[in-house]
Structure 1
Amino acid sequence: MLDALEVLTVVSFGVMVGVEFSVAFVMNPIFKGLPEDSGQLGRAHGGRMLGAVMPVWYFSSLALVVVWAVAGWHDQGVGLVVASGVLMVVSVVMSLLVLVPINNRGKTWTPENRPADWKQQTDTWDRYHYVRVAVLIAALVLLVAALV
C-alpha cells in the first residue's frame, strides 16, 4: 500500500511540476512573442484557468507527501520526504505572498483596463515563478531520491 502511495505522490507532484515548468519555459515565452495584446490576453486566460486548478493540485500533492511521511515514518527515506514537504510549503507560502496577488490582478486585465506597469508586474511574477519552479524541482528530486 505504501508503494502505491509513493508512486501516486511522485506522479501527481511530477506532473504538477511539469505544468509549472512549461508555464515558465514554454507558455510565457510564447505569450511574450505574440503580437499586440494577444500575449497579455493569453496570460490573463491562463491565470484564470490555472488559478482555479493549481491550488487544489498543490494542496493535494502536499497532503500526499504528508501521508507518505507519516505512513513511512520508520522507513529509510522519510527524511527526504519531509525535506520535500518543507520545500513544498516554502513554494506555497511564496505563492500566497507574491505570486497569487499578482496573478489575481493579472487575470482580470484587458487591453482597456490593465495598469501602466502591467509588464513590470508580469516580469516580477515571472522571476518569482522561476524561483518557485526551482524549489519544486528540488522537492521532486527529493521525493524520487526517497524511493531509491
Structure 2
Amino acid sequence: MLNVLAVLVLLGSGTVAGVLFAVAVSTVPALAAMPPDRYVYTHTLLGRNWDPTMPLIVLGTTLLDIVLAVWAPGALDRTLIICATVCLAGVSLVSHLRNVPINKRVHRTDPDAVPPGWEDPRPVWRRWHLLRTALAMVALAANSVALTLIF
C-alpha cells in the first residue's frame, strides 16, 4: 500500500508543480503582453476547466500526503512529508483566498467594455501565482526526497 501511496503522491505533487510552473513561464507572460480586452477574454477562456480539476488534485494529494506521513517509517521522512503537506495546503489557500477572487472579478468584466481606469489585476495575480508555484515546487521536492529515503 505504501508503494501505491508513493506513486499517487508523486503523480499529484508533480502534476500540481508542473501545471503551475507552466502557467508561470508561459501563460502569465502571454497574458501580460495583451491589451486589457484581449486579456479579459483570454483569461476567461483559459480559466474554464481549472475548477474542479486542480482543486481536486491539490486537495487529494494533500490528503494522500497526510496518510503517507502517518505511515512513514522514519522521523526525517515524516518531517519532509509534513512539509510537503503544509506546502500543498498553502497552494490551496493561496488559490482560494487570493487567485480565485481575482479570477472571478476578471470574469465579471465585459471584454468589449473594459471601463476606463480599469484596475489591472495581472501584477497582483502574478505575485500570488508565483507564491503558490514556489510552494508546489517545494512540496514536490520534499515528497521526492522523502520517498527516495523511504525506498
Specify if TM > 0.5. Answer: yes
Kindly report which structure 2 residues correspond to 1:39-58, keeping only aligned pairs within 5 A, or say none.
39-58=39-58
Residue 70 of structure 1: how far off its partner (Å):
1.9
Q: Any idea what SS the aligned residue of 2:112 has?
A: coil
1:75 corresponds in structure 2 to 74
Kindly provide the CA deviation profile for residues 61-95 of structure 1, in whole angstroms up to 9, marking residues without a partner as x.
111111211222x3351110011111112222222
Equivalent in the alignment of 2:105: 105
CA apart distance, 1:23: 1.1
Between the aligned partners of 2:123 and 2:92, the Cα distance in structure 1 is 20
Cα pair distance change 1:129/1:52, threshold 3 Å:
same
- 1:125: how far off? 0.7
Which residue is 1:38 aligned to?
38
TM-score, normalised by the number of residues in structure 2 = 0.84
For residues 34 and 105 of structure 2, what CA distance do their matches in structure 1 show? 21
CA distance in 2, matches of 1:68, 1:114: 48
> 1:19 maps to what in 2?
19
Q: Distance in 1 between matches of 2:118 and 2:12?
A: 36
Identical aligned pairs, as a percentage? Answer: 29
CA distance in 1, matches of 2:34, 2:118: 19
Task: State the 1:96 CA deviation.
Answer: 2.1
What's the Cα RMSD here?
A: 2.0
CA contact (8 A) 1:45 1:107 kept: no
| 20-29 or 48-57, which deviates more | 48-57
AA partner of residue 117 (structure 1): W
Shift of 1:38: 2.8
Structure 2, gaps ≥5 residues long: none
* Alpha-carbon separation, structure 2, partners of 1:70 and 1:117: 49
Contact preservation (8 Å) 1:24, 1:129:
yes
C-alpha spacing 1:71/1:114, structure 2 compared with 1 (3 Å): farther
How many correspondences in the alignment? Answer: 146
Matched-pair contact (CA < 8 Å) for 2:13–2:139 = no
Give, in angstroms, the shift of residue 97 of structure 1.
1.9
Gaps in structure 1 of 5+ consecutive residues: none
Q: Which residue of 2 aligns with 1:92?
A: 92
1:63 has 2:44 as partner: no
Equivalence for 2:9: 9
